[in-house]
């Protein structure tokens, strides 16, 4: 099953702020820095991104020369 790219997940808890605190320590890429800035500038981040946004962000974060096994 695949979710449509315009699907907006509505988690009941705030995960982005904690996840990005860890993520920026691991990978200081532009997409992670942009997400960190968004999380810092917004009290709540849930429901602000679509599945399509997440796919693009993951590809930008992970599709690097760090590990050839990672692809989008």
**Domain locations along the chain:** 28-62
| pLDDT interval class at 60 (50, 70, 90) | low
Is residue 64 within 8 Å of residue 28, measured between CB atoms? Answer: no
Q: What is the pLDDT of residue 28?
A: 84
**24 or 63: whose pLDDT is higher?**
24
Structure tokens at 69: 């096994």
Length of the chain: 72
Q: Of 58, 71, 27, 29, give the one whose Cα is nearest residue 49.
A: 58
Q: What is the pLDDT of residue 64?
A: 54
pLDDT in tens, 1-59: 677 777 776 666 678 888 889 888 888 888 788 889 999 999 888 878 877 777 776 66
Q: What is the pLDDT of residue 67?
A: 52
Distance CA 4, CA 50 (A): 9
């Amino acid at each position: 099953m695949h979710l449509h790219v315009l699907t907006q997940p509505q988690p009941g808890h705030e995960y982005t702020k904690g996840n990005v605190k860890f993520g920026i320590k691991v990978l200081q890429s532009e997409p992670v820095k942009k997400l960190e800035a968004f999380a810092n500038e917004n009290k709540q981040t849930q429901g602000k991104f679509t599945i399509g946004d997440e796919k693009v962000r993951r590809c930008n974060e992970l599709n690097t020369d760090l590990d050839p096994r990672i692809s989008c």
